[in-house]
Amino acid sequence: EQFWAIVPAAGTGSRMQTDKPKQYLLLQQQTVLMHTLNRLLSHPQISGLVIAIAKDDPWWSSLEIPADWPLLIAEGGQQRSDSVLNALDRLADEQVGDPWVLVHDAARPCLRHADIDHMIHSLATDEVGGILAMPITDTVKRATMDGRVAETVPREALWRAATPQMFRLQQLRQALSQAIAAGINVTDEASAMEYLGYQPKLIAGHADNIKITLPQDLPLAELFLQQQGG
């Protein structure tokens, strides 16, 4: 089996309140993006990686990417899903057949190899694929339009979706293009697969695989990297 990593890194990070997109902020003297790429490319089962970079991105070229990294570059799109689809199309051009793809947010630099291993093992004989996710621990409320509690939602069946999200290249391309064409709000790969009627498997991941979104997430990610010793 072949496994490729797909990294959408073409976001603007509007919620970060910084000029630079979050994937270019520093964690332990290294960009968030370099941490993420390192985590994926140092995994022994990952053959290569396709990254989606925004067309007008002025920061990418100043990263010191080792010349021997198996890295392909695609152009970012309007939405995350467009960026992922561009990257998948780029991979399909390589005539690699129909490998598994692990789509992983550039903004999740604390991904552990143990979670990648767990995912690959859990899905080894799976027909669909699946996602790393965490069971919800808080009590969950549904809000009214004016910000009051409408009801308490039973949390037993609720999970927070993370990445990687692992699917077959060709199935995921088809799912994303159809869901995008139908105007579905595709905020992760699983949503596109669900649109076609598939039920991706939920694989319990570690909670330190956070997505850097808000300014306060940076010191937290730094702490997690330190604890992980990497």
- Residue with smallest beta-carbon separation from ligand C5P: 11
Region from 89-97, 100-108, 127-135, 169-177 binding ligand C5P, contact rule CB under 6 A: 100-108
Does 77 engage in binding with ligand C5P (CB under 6 A)?
Answer: yes
Compute the distance between CA of residue 6 and CA of residue 46 in angstroms, rounded to an integer: 11
The answer to whether the CB of 15 falls within 8 A of the CB of 214 is yes
Q: Rounded to the nearest whole angstrom, what is the least distance from the CB of residue 156 to ligand C5P in the complex?
A: 26
Site for ligand C5P in 3-42 (CB under 6 A): 8-11, 23
Alpha carbon distance 221, 110 (integer Å): 7
Rounded to the nearest whole angstrom, what is the least distance from the CB of residue 30 to ligand C5P in the complex?
16
Q: Which two tokens stand for residue 83?
A: 């960026």
Q: In the chain, at which residue ranges do the beta strands (DSSP E only) sit?
A: 3-8, 26-27, 30-31, 46-53, 71-75, 100-103, 129-135, 140-143, 149-153, 159-168, 201-204
Rank residues 72 and 126 by Cβ distance to ligand C5P and give the closer one. 72
Nearer to ligand C5P, 122 or 211 (CB): 211
Binding mask 192-221 for ligand C5P (x = CB under 6 A): -------------------x-x--------
- Please state the closest distance from residue 177 (CB atom) to ligand C5P, in A: 16
Task: Give the Cα separation of 163 and 81 in Å (integer).
Answer: 13
95 φψ region: left (φ > 0), alpha (ψ -120 to 50), beta (else): left
* Binding positions for ligand C5P, rule: CB under 6 A: 8-11, 23, 52, 76-80, 83, 105-107, 211, 213
